Structure 1
Amino acid sequence: MSEPLQNQISALLLPDTQFTLAEADVKVRAVDADGRVAVALTCGFPVRGIEAALREGISGLLAGEGKTLASLELNARITSHAVQPNLAPLENVRNLIAVGSGKGGVGKSTTAVNLALALAADGARVGVLDADIYGPSVPTMLGLSGKPDSPDGKTIEPMHAHGIAAMSIGLLVEQDTPMIWRGPMATSALTQLLNETRWGELDYLIVDLPPGTGDIQLTLAQKIPVAGAVIVTTPQDVATLDARKALKMFEKVHVPVLGLIENMAVHVCSNCGHAEHVFGEGGGARMAAQYGVPLLGSLPLEIAIREQGDAGVPVVAAAPDSAAARAYRAAARNLAVRLALRPRVAPSISASLLG
């Protein structure tokens, strides 16, 4: 093994993030055989989508040393990360990520679905639980209809779309039926939905929480084993004021906030290309700096995001090479790296022996 080369490779930036490979805790192994170098990287997050960029970066570095890249092996080892005290991770779900917002109308559900699709596109096994009980929009966004199956009358098979598993209260009731439920009934239904869905093996389960910071959100955050939370806001002060409340709520129930996502940050005119900050500029960055949490990404205000969501094929799936899809993928990669750096759940003795 060549330690100097390993150190140089470790200093490369991870694509779409502010992290070097070393800072992202990527294990680097480089073997130099007469100038032909075999490189193996082991990461705690999905890497399929960044293989080409990593290959290019490593090849360029080696070329500067008069060497060539003989092979590049990428291994993603996504483990379970610590949840709130007195709770244990779900058996088949390695990491549950809650997506919340201080208020409605900031694009939380759209963001949750596109983040899930972005993680899946990078090679992770992903599910989405629509916990927005009063406005379940995930079935529409994923183009799902019909009722899920229950093979044994006790558990439910999730529905699948665009490579991810999904479950929503909206799939179990008629589309125009209002959910006139009080807090305890709603939280009971959602915890049941979480625990009785046959998710299979998932690396990430994205939970789209109801907007706000009331009784339902608080109870869910206390009862569901969450590895990390993401808060969605728009740049204007009215939205960031409410997002601060969501951040404080997660802190109170000992759920680590992985970061903020600033939605509708900029609108680029499709005719002339003029960029305009319709909802103000930099609100997410200011809030992130004030509270010491990362800004995972800034997403555009773009008509295609709305159109594709309404059509049941979100923009990450419908137009993967678009600027909007790239922004979602960058946010998802930052989220995955932030989670990978969190404390891990200690494996059981039997799991350690098997591993």
Structure 2
Amino acid sequence: MVQKEEILKALSEIIDPDLHKDIVSLGFIKELVISDGTVSFAIELTTPACPVKNQFKMAAEKLVGELDGVKKVHVTMTARNARNDQSENGLKGVKQIIAVASAKGGVGKSTVAATLACELHDQGYKTGLLDTDLFGPSLPTLFNITKPGVYQRNDMMIPIEKDGLKLMSFGFLLGDSPAIMRGPMVSGYMQQILLKVDWGELDYLVIDMPPGTGDIQLTLSQTIQVDGAVIVTTRAALSLVDVARGILMFERVGVPMLGVVENMSHFICDNCSKEHYIFGEAKAPGERFGLDTLAQIPLEPGRGRNMEGYKSNDLNKSLVENVARALGKVTAEKIVPPEVRQEGDTVIFHWQDNKEWKINAVHLRSSCRCALCVDEYSGEKILNDEDIPKDIKVESTSPLGNYAMAISWSDGHSSGIFPYNQLEELSK
């Protein structure tokens, strides 16, 4: 009879393309049972929308089926439920929560959140969309819901369903009435819509967050366990200035960053098909902050219209695939950040494997890519190196997920985010 060790050895040939490890060492194999030549097991993925799940299943069936003594192979594909034991509320049946945020209004965040939710639903995943903008809810307009008729069951609000997609919004509760209220009342409403909606079983809940980085956003981030955040921005200078604040807010409350969606990135001429970058062709926002660019969405007539009768397209499919890959990475990967110290005029980043990056402090400060140091339109450097004190010191550092380090300096500059790949290049 085939042995468990033989099966695991065969399955260890399957490598996750994003995590670069085999699925056995990653702990994906669950509930392995061998009975009369029939082998059954589950492959537990980090996220339901894993883009390579079908390849994993076919490879597993083939590799195990070729072993001596194996007559049948039953493979079940599952996904981790990230909710913890504290989820005795409407979120307890939700596998993963994705926050879609922007540090500034007017960048198309709500449209991106609705597109992400619609595409996930279109691909067959049980999906919900929660609009938490108390002062400017967009979901009723996006889905043309004028009389929602929200009702309660067992002291829980029941979401509205549109063709199987579950929806909830402050706009359903307040109607057209203006929301005029102070902080404590706002927090109470936020707690209610976060915890008192019965979503049932969902693969994904997409949360359309209010714009900004204030108390409301902090309350939301700290009330529930968010699995990853997507920042929506444009290349416009006013939008990019606030992106760093949004990234820092999520990192400081323990919400992993998934990446950046660059909305209104460009428009494509209908005569010559040339791409025109109306906000300039400087580095993409994701690259500047060390994050993946999940999508570059052009200005086009069909975007931002009513989401009824949603139709999928290649760009939206790519957005979902990139978000799913990013979720898989942050769920499985836990990088220990480097220790940072300064010796004289050298800043040293010491990694757990004893690798060190040594960078001159003035050179490091000069290499900052933030909006105060680099022109947002041209990408040209505006920081004058002569203004950097020769004895400049690192005051404090904050690791940002698996991708970057935020550094505050003795000259008062504190908005610099240095991607690890940039630091590695500077150390060479």
Q: For 2:174, what is the secondary structure of its paired residue?
A: coil
Q: For residues 67-82 of structure 1, what are the structure 2 equivalents within 5 Å?
A: 73=75, 75-80=77-82
**CA deviations over 1:15-41 (Å, ceiling 9, x no partner):** xxx555748958479xxxxxxxx9985
Q: Secondary structure at the match of 2:222?
A: helix
Q: 1:122 to 1:81 in 2, by over 3 A?
A: farther
1:111-190 residue pairs with structure 2 within 5 A? 111-152=112-153, 154-175=155-176, 177-190=177-190
Deviations 1:139-173 (A, max 9, x none): 22233332333244832110112432110011122
Given that residues 150 and 173 in structure 2 are in contact (C-alpha distance below 8 angstroms), is that contact kept between their aligned partners in structure 1?
no
Single out whichever of 263-272 and 189-198 deviates more from structure 2: 263-272
Distance 1:74 1:297, change over 3 A: farther
AA paired with 2:179?
A: M
Q: How does 1:151-300 map to 2 (within 5 A)?
A: 151-152=152-153, 154-175=155-176, 177-281=177-281, 282-289=283-290, 294-300=291-297
Alignment match, 1:107: 108
Say yes or no: does 1:323 pair with 2:320: no
Of stretches 118-127 and 164-173 in structure 1, the one that deviates more from structure 2 is 118-127
Shift of 1:2: 6.8
The structural deviation recorded for 1:273 is: 1.6
Match among 296, 300, 303 for residue 300 of structure 2: 303
- Show CA shifts across 1:158-202 (max 9, x none): 011243211001112233x22222232222112112222111122
Deviation at 1:109, TM superposition (A): 1.0
Match of 1:334 in 2: 325
CA drift of 1:323 comes to 3.3
Distance across 2 between alignment mates of 1:45 and 1:303:
31
Task: Report the 3-state secondary structure (helix = DSSP H, G, I; strand = E; otherwise coil) of the residue aligned with 1:251.
Answer: helix
Name the TM-score, length of structure 1 as normaliser. Answer: 0.72
| Deviation of the 1:260 alpha carbon | 2.4
Distance 1:285 1:252, change over 3 A: closer
Judge conservation of contact 1:148–1:158 (CA < 8 Å) in 2: no
TM-score normalised per structure 2: 0.61
State the match for 2:97 in structure 1: 96
Higher strand share goes to which structure? 2
Whether contact under 8 Å (1:112, 1:208) holds in the other structure is yes
- CA distance, structure 2, for counterparts of residue 26 and residue 278 of structure 1: 46
Give me the whole-angstrom Cα distance separating, in 2, the residues matched to 1:330 and 1:259.
Answer: 12
- Tell whether the 8 Å contact from 1:240 to 1:283 is kept in structure 2 after alignment: no
- As a proportion of its length, which structure holds more helix? 1
Between the aligned partners of 1:55 and 1:195, the Cα distance in structure 2 is: 36
Is the contact between residue 213 and residue 246 of structure 1 (CA under 8 Å) also seen in structure 2? Answer: yes
The CA distance in 1 between the partners of 2:124 and 2:256, in whole Å, is: 24
CA distance in 1, matches of 2:57, 2:271: 36
User: How far 1:130 sits from its partner (Å)?
Assistant: 0.5
| Deviation by residue 1:220-264 (Cα, 9 ceiling, x = unmatched) | 223333233222222233312201111112223233323322222
- The offset of 1:120, in angstroms, is 3.0
**How far 1:72 moved relative to its partner?**
9.4
Q: Distance in 2 between matches of 1:52 and 1:201?
A: 22
Count the aligned residue pairs. 311
* 2:343 corresponding residue in structure 1: none
Q: Specify whether residues 219 and 52 from structure 1 end up closer, same or farther in structure 2 by C-alpha distance, changes over 3 A only.
A: closer
Cα distance in structure 2, aligned partners of 1:231 and 1:107: 11
Unaligned runs of 5+ in 2: 1-5, 31-39, 64-71, 335-428
Q: Could you tell me which amino acid in structure 2 is paired with residue 333 of structure 1?
A: A
Deviation sequence 1:62-81 (CA, Å, 0-9, x none): 9xxxxxxx999561323215
For residues 242-300 of structure 1, what are the alpha-carbon distances to aligned partners after superposition, in whole Å with 9 as ceiling and x for unaligned?
011111122232333233222223322344321222223433233332xxxx3151232
- SS of residue in 1 equivalent to 2:92: coil
Q: What secondary structure does 2:156 align onto?
A: coil
1:350 maps to none
Distance 1:155 1:79, change over 3 A: closer
Q: Which amino acid aligns with 1:147?
A: P
Check conservation: 1:48, 1:122, Cα contact below 8 A: no
Identity score, percent: 31
SS at 1:102 equivalent: coil
**What code does the residue aligned with 2:311 have?**
A
Answer whether contact 1:82 1:342 (CA < 8 A) is retained.
no
Check 1:263–1:73 CA distance in 2 against 1; reply closer, same or farther (3 A cut): farther
Deviates more, 1:74-83 or 1:100-109: 74-83
Structure 1, unaligned runs of 5 or more: 30-37, 63-69, 344-355
Larger Rg: 2
